[in-house]
Amino acid sequence: MLKRNPSLTDQAKSTIKSRIVNDEYVNGRIPSEAILADELQVSRTTIRDALSRLENEGAIYRKQGAGTFVNQPGLQIKTRLEEIWSYEDVIAAHGYTPSTQILAVRREMARKETAVSLQIDPTDDIIRIEKLFLADDQPVILAHNHFAAELLPDSYDDDNFHAPIYEIFEENGRQQLTYYLSEIVPAIASPQLAQILHIQSNTPLLSFNEIGYNANNNPILKSISYFRDDLLRLRLIRRKSN
């Protein structure tokens, strides 16, 4: 029934996921692994991989001896912080149409702290981009991105930077952003920030300090950003780690 590539696991996962979303399982009970394996003509291992990933995403839960079930509360959360990728995705997941404004692009010497974070020579140039994200034309996130100048071609203009950062890296720098290590910090809107985000001064904000890593686990991006909390709500699932 299924073909290779995308992997059988991926296909099994999305098949099951769509059945869940379409409410095809009465009482939220998902067929046993053996039945699913038989039905989709794959091994039980493949089904188990698919179910494990759905469980991680919060879409289902399993009880040994009892069965596998749809997890309604988990299904409703569409913006899980651990899985969110670009800010465009965050905005879209909340049901808004994302757009961007480039407020500034600078080529400059790295500050010492930035050079350390990015493991580059302090005399090397970096690119600093100040980018505003809008949800249905309301400003919601202000991001400052820093990365080594050598990751970009010599000539560029501001319009290049409307695309998500990870796309820019993939196209120009032959680098793939694979994960972020993020620090969550509470902040208060300064008068300047308040003006940019169209909010009142001293409004509480969330700030993210993040380092983005490539496939070789080298830091390639430093990002500091500020979120308007009234439009975007950040959620995550916290589990026992074992």
- For DNA, the closer CB: 29 or 111: 29
Among 18, 41, 201, 202, binds a second copy (CB under 8 A): 202
Token pair 């680098």 in the structure block, residue: 175
46 vs 231: CA distance, rounded Å: 39
163 vs 173: CA distance, rounded Å: 14
Q: Binding to DNA by residue 217, rule CB under 7 A?
A: no
Piece in contact with DNA (CB under 7 A), picked from 34-42, 101-109, 135-143, 218-226: 34-42
Name every residue whose Cβ is closer than 8 Å to that of residue 103 and which is 6 or more positions away in sequence: 130, 131, 132, 142, 196
Among 22, 26, 27, 64, binds DNA (CB under 7 A): 64
* CB contact at 8 A, 40 and 47: yes
Contacted entry of DNA, a second copy, none for residue 46, CB cut-off 5 to 8 Å set by kind: DNA
26 vs 23: CA distance, rounded Å: 7
Backbone angles phi, psi at 83, to 5 degrees: -115, -5
Piece in contact with DNA (CB under 7 A), picked from 60-68, 90-98, 184-192, 198-206: 60-68
Piece in contact with DNA (CB under 7 A), picked from 40-48, 71-79, 155-163, 183-191: 40-48
121 vs 110: CA distance, rounded Å: 8
Positions touching DNA (CB under 7 A) are: 4-5, 7-10, 30-35, 41-46, 48-49, 51, 62-68
Positions touching a second copy (CB under 8 A) are: 10, 57-58, 61, 63, 69, 71, 73-74, 77, 81-85, 178-188, 202, 204-206, 210-211, 213, 215-217, 219, 229, 233-242
